[in-house]
Chain A
């Protein structure tokens, strides 16, 4: 996919418009995103010809101030320009309440809300005062809302929303402190919801359809609905919004957070407009769902052709390698990105995770210093520093930094999960479970959190083993499902489980005394070595066939899919194999035991124990006078 010059300049002006419009509405992150992308398009080499230059500059000048295409809106906007400017300045100074009050003073709001008698939720301070203006004021006030331009209405409501969020965070006090029970709510949500309800209602045409707005209020409405966990409706409004204004990246991000499965994504994709942003959305969301396949890499390459220096796409590229467990490539991508944008902190927390896994202490230290030099009080920086302390085994300090990250941004998923890991290290299992639960609450797709949760349940042991198995299965599902989903299009790809998780589940079943289940999972774990399609050997297939129904919803899918290659011999599979060999000894299946022990010897893992097993097998079989020993020797 490459664009010709005309398309490029169209794209450029669309992005310019997006930057201006987003910053008019104080959607800073979206505006940043668009501006970054805008600058990633390579500039055409304009010959230094004066006539040409002037022509170009006149062409671009118009985009700096974004005029409204809708005449009615344009009139409204021009009438209230000074009030709007005041509101925007107040917003920029983070005085959200004052900003909202410029267009929506309390009296107007109470007028809008209070007539509705069924409204039971407490709704802020305006209620008492508003008593006097109830009654017949409603239509008038509804009118009042309509007299505001969409831009100003959005700004006011958005300010209200943010002020509510801010208050909510303040009420919750310390992260995981006594007040932080997850009961704090954003008290403005209902107000905003009501106002938007009325607004959209008033724009409903005769046939029940909504008149087309400009996309911004729809975005806000979707966001509010999502906050109230009204997800289907939220998705409806967000999709409407991107149809009207596709360049608002924040809206796409909201959609991403609503999508938890690949087939959800595929369903949504059919309802979306076909343009370059939705293309990016598809890639980004797939990455959020831990996808990695050739298609994705391909589309990413195409986009990188258009925006060769886009830091956003480069991050996606690095994450793609990370999800494909190609840590070295991911590390290189990130370090290249860092050298290009030394002050860009976004998604460096992923980089620190990679470095942590690679055990690259010097690099991680460098990164931590760099982040804290750029901005100490960004959640990303805190996560990086926390990771560094964790690598140094300074777990208390690590927890402190993850906490700080969460104070800065409570929706910081990686901080919740990592804090859980740290609490596990500190043997504070209850706190760990709490952290993991929060992580899962923030984002259901994070298999790492599910995995941690399951592990911690296992540590607690008491009543929790069943829960643990459930959580681990969730983890498996979260990890697996999406891999299976990628085979949606290409049947050649298949799902495979993480042997670690399988081993853990098997271990839990073992401690519960459910030996058959344990055996099934152990066998599944070993089967991951070759991958489900290692059909030339009949061994893994056989294993799948005799795995009992209980846990086989995963296993069944696994054996059905035609597969890519497996994980190879890992510590987990070796452990599983050892367990199976012992189990075979216990059940006097000496041939199997001998075979498994031999395999262990060949893999060069725990050779001593395996040899001991072989000897034992031999002595037993010889005493039994069997031919199993001969087979064992032959293999």
Chain B
């Protein structure tokens, strides 16, 4: 009878027929008065969105103190009602050290276990079977322990205590490596710096992923690779690509959106926007409302100035999914792309209001201030972003840029160095650092950095178009360092790569003039500059001077 009712209830729950699940669950509980049945009934209430009811039910039976699963559910109910303090009270503040300690001991036993399993065949499997029962109980408790850690993390995050949240998430993953929810929170908001991420990954106990009957650690290796693809792409590209390749060749996940997203992300950080866009488009073709891919897709479209597509996507998302912050991010990006800064700001802020942890929206919000030259406000917005996303270097870079624009060279230097600590291989960052040096009158150091930036760009195979500015800066640095020939070479290279700009011709003119005696060539180049931009003040002035000199020579 009971098992029949249980089956019925479970079946109804699977079909999301909550009415019948509640009905049956209620009767079942009356029959058995079992804790487990009570938990399941509360679970059904939770699933229907009756958080208070589930809550009341759990507390009435005094289940919270007795059963970890009920404790978890109760806390979850509080969180759903945005009552974080109470949730924390239910969860308890303490770190579940016993579980953490347990991990290590358990890992040891398992190591022994697997090692001996390699030696002897059948006897061990039986012993495992025997051990399974208490293990089940234990794993379930561990799972709930991890899940509670995760909930604690959410509470802290909502209370803006990110350090503690991060610790909680990390604990959760450490206790149970399969607690992807927590891992996702860590990665999505890049709470850790790239180094920290790799260390953390190393410290994780993938061996605990055991599939019965699978003696070699395929499952654990698989999980590790899956997690690897989600880490920051700057630090360890080789292991990322190997993980990617193995997953796509061995497990047929080549066209899995998550893997494709990881690859597109990598391409984006390498400034290969078109390639990244091709991938994101392919993903969206399959699954049009895959929201995890949209921030990247939108960023690519923005970089490639595809305003028209942005317009269509923004409209589509805002019409069909107004509840998603992504939709308003799209609208904001569209307005930003067409230089309607005020509207862009409104929508970015709307997106960030909907989800306070939505990084792209914060960065966009800050960009709108930066675009209007409101450096102070931009700095405060970037600071928020930096506080929220400790793992990415981008907010730091932007902070550096803003301070640079305010002529606070030392502060800018500080920020950029922090960013450099987070990510050593971003050519953009190297470029910015070079610029700061340049403005601090250290052309030699600046030139080294620019060279490094170009080198890195070459390494990651970025489009040459993207590094024109670095090259231009390099040429300027050479000029300041009085290496005129090198400077001219670099300028010519820039011109060859289609960086036609009045300023470049003007600089060339300046070099010819500084080299002394090459007035004719200077005059010619300066005329070219004025042909591109007739009102260029620097070129005009230089031209006047050059013409005077040549006239003087004629006399």
Contact = CB atoms under 8 A, between A and B. Distances in A.
Interface of A: 362-363, 365-366, 369-370, 373
Contact of B316 (A362, A370, A373): A362
Interface in B303-337: 307-309, 311-312, 315-316, 319
A370 B315 CA distance: 16
A362 B308 contact: no
B308 A370 contact: yes
Interface size of B as a range: under 10
A370 B310 CA distance: 12
**Most interface-central of B307, B315, B319 (chain A CB within 10 A):** B315
Nearest to B315: A362
A373 B311 CA distance: 14
A366 B311 CA distance: 7
A530 B311 CA distance: 42
18 contacts: A362-B311, A362-B312, A362-B315, A362-B316, A362-B319, A363-B312, A363-B315, A365-B311, A365-B312, A366-B308, A366-B309, A366-B311, A366-B312, A369-B307, A369-B308, A369-B311, A370-B308, A373-B308
Interface of B: 307-309, 311-312, 315-316, 319
Contacts of A369: 307-308, 311
Contacts of B319: 362
Contacts of B309: 366
A298 B371 CA distance: 57
A365 B308 CA distance: 8
A265 B311 CA distance: 44
A369 B308 CA distance: 7
Contacts of A362: 311-312, 315-316, 319
B280 to A, nearest CB: 15
A227 B319 CA distance: 50
A319 to B, nearest CB: 23
A372 to B, nearest CB: 10
A365 B315 CA distance: 11
Contacts of A373: 308
A557 to B, nearest CB: 44
A631 B309 CA distance: 61
Nearest to A365: B311
Contacts of B308: 366, 369-370, 373
Nearest to A373: B308
Nearest to B319: A362
A213 B477 CA distance: 75
Contacts of A365: 311-312
A373 B307 CA distance: 11
B321 to A, nearest CB: 14
Nearest to A363: B312
Contacts of B316: 362
A375 to B, nearest CB: 15
Given A362-B315, A363-B312, A365-B312, 7 more contacts: A362-B316, A366-B308, A366-B309, A366-B312, A369-B308, A370-B308, A373-B308
A273 B312 CA distance: 47
Contacts of B315: 362-363
Contacts of A366: 308-309, 311-312
A138 to B, nearest CB: 62
Contacts of B307: 369
A8 B12 CA distance: 57
A369 B316 CA distance: 16
Nearest to A370: B308
**Most interface-central of B308, B309, B316, B319 (chain A CB within 10 A):** B308
A373 B309 CA distance: 12
A277 B307 CA distance: 41
A279 B308 CA distance: 39
Q: 9 closest pairs, A vs B, by CB?
A: A362-B315, A366-B312, A369-B308, A366-B308, A370-B308, A362-B312, A366-B311, A365-B311, A362-B311
A524 B315 CA distance: 42
Contacts of A363: 312, 315
A313 to B, nearest CB: 22
A366 B316 CA distance: 11
A365 B309 CA distance: 10
Contacts of B311: 362, 365-366, 369
Nearest to A360: B315
A366 B319 CA distance: 15
A369 B307 CA distance: 9
Nearest to B316: A362
A462 B167 CA distance: 85
A176 B378 CA distance: 56
A217 B183 CA distance: 76
Nearest to B312: A366
A96 B88 CA distance: 86
Contacts of A370: 308
Contacts of B312: 362-363, 365-366
A363 B315 CA distance: 9
A370 B308 CA distance: 7
A369 B309 CA distance: 10
A3 to B, nearest CB: 31
Nearest to B307: A369
Nearest to A368: B308
Nearest to B314: A362
A373 B306 CA distance: 11
A365 B310 CA distance: 12
Nearest to A361: B315
A32 B319 CA distance: 39
**Most interface-central of A362, A365, A369, A370 (chain B CB within 10 A):** A362
A385 B316 CA distance: 20
B243 to A, nearest CB: 33
B148 to A, nearest CB: 45
A401 B308 CA distance: 20
A366 B301 CA distance: 15
